[in-house]
Amino acid sequence: MISWCKNCLNASTRPRIEFDHRGWCNACQWMEEKKSLNWAKRESELHELLEKHRGKGDFDCIVTVSGGKDGSYVAHTLKSRYGINALCLTVRPPMPLELGDKNLISFINSGFEHIHVSVNQESMRILDRIGFLDFGQGYYGWLIAIHTAVLRIANSFGINLVFYSEDGEIEYGGSTERKNIATYGIEYMKKAYLNSTYDHVIKESGLSKQELYWFEFDPSLYKEMSGLDVTHFSYYEAWDPYRNYLVAKEFCGLEEYQDGVVGTFTNFAQNDQELASLHYYLMYLKFGFGRATQDAGIEIRRGAMTREQAINLVNIYDNQPPVQGFERYAKYYGISLREFLGVLDKFANKDLFEKVDGYWKPRFVVT
């Protein structure tokens, strides 16, 4: 029904994941590989890429940021270590949180050029709603825009290099097809980051071309941008979310959440939007692993936690539903609370969960 990585706690239900003969997932295999990888070669690839784009326009590249640890780390490193003049870019999320806004302002004030893209909120709400109702995705419209809106801005400013933080597929478990390939295009964005449901959601929305301005992979636009390099910074140096957090805290004013975060034991990641909690809870109901499992995996792989400690934390946190947000989520999607709960029921994996006293409880025990 479900099994877990023998090293971390990645579940066999995770999309695109693979295990080796020891029962280690590909995130853990990658962690091993990173120790002996020829990073000097990768850094020279980075140099080459940066020199190709340096000084070609008003900005050398775009760095996508949210005010959180990872984008802040990438922007800071490119500027301080490589002297890169980046245009930092944030696509304003739905249901933003105060701390996220505060962190973004602190980041900007630490010395960066920044553009805030506010997409059509009604279009985003409609796309988020279809993603939620049809696929159990909490913020699908926003997920689209963090790719499509970035391409629009790159084109408008004549910038041909875009950095995202890490490739989650490779770092946290999933497809390894691009492990040794630095850049990627629209097809990979649609498949790996938008779960191949992009065309369905756009069609279903019935939105006009104008209303979809920030949400379209406009083919003519992409043709013009054939010289565009889209890449992850995690390709060029050993990715370490905790180091990123420390650097962002020291140099970019990052603050953690002071209270506990629902669904996990960490307080320094993904504090910019309320829908993140729902996103992770839906992941838990669909696949049997939640945010705490993911966070624990990162801690195990960096050697800061044992698998036994991780199991204890996962048992405490993964099954916490973000109930305090349910009313607001339903209101955002424009449905009743009853309908909202019905969608959770629809996507809960009945092989993995059973409903007890109104809540979905796991039938499995993490081992």
Nearer to Zn ion, 28 or 143 (CB): 28
Q: Is-contact 188 121, C-beta < 8 A?
A: no
- Specify the 3-state DSSP secondary structure of 356: strand
Nearer to Zn ion, 216 or 240 (CB): 240
Total Cβ atoms within 10 A of residue 47 = 12
Q: Does 201 bind Zn ion (CB under 5 A)?
A: no
Nearer to Zn ion, 11 or 348 (CB): 11
CB of 297 to Zn ion, least distance (A): 6
Nearer to Zn ion, 25 or 124 (CB): 25
- Specify the 3-state DSSP secondary structure of 16: coil
Q: Does 10 bind Zn ion (CB under 5 A)?
A: yes
Q: Does 7 bind Zn ion (CB under 5 A)?
A: yes
CB of 33 to Zn ion, least distance (A): 13
CB of 173 to Zn ion, least distance (A): 7
Enter the DSSP assignment of 205: H
Q: Does 170 bind Zn ion (CB under 5 A)?
A: no
Nearer to Zn ion, 262 or 310 (CB): 310
Backbone angles phi, psi at 25, to 5 degrees: -80, 170
CB of 300 to Zn ion, least distance (A): 7
3-state secondary structure 126-185: HHHHHHHHHHCCCCHHHHHHHHHHHHHHHHHHCCCEEEECCCHHHHHCCCCCCCCCCECC
Contact letters for Zn ion, residues 11-40 (x by CB under 5 A)? --------------x--x------------
Contact letters for Zn ion, residues 111-150 (x by CB under 5 A)? ----------------------------------------
Enter the DSSP assignment of 19: B
Q: Does 5 bind Zn ion (CB under 5 A)?
A: yes
Nearer to Zn ion, 8 or 162 (CB): 8
Q: Is-contact 251 76, C-beta < 8 A?
A: yes
d(CA 45, CA 38): 11
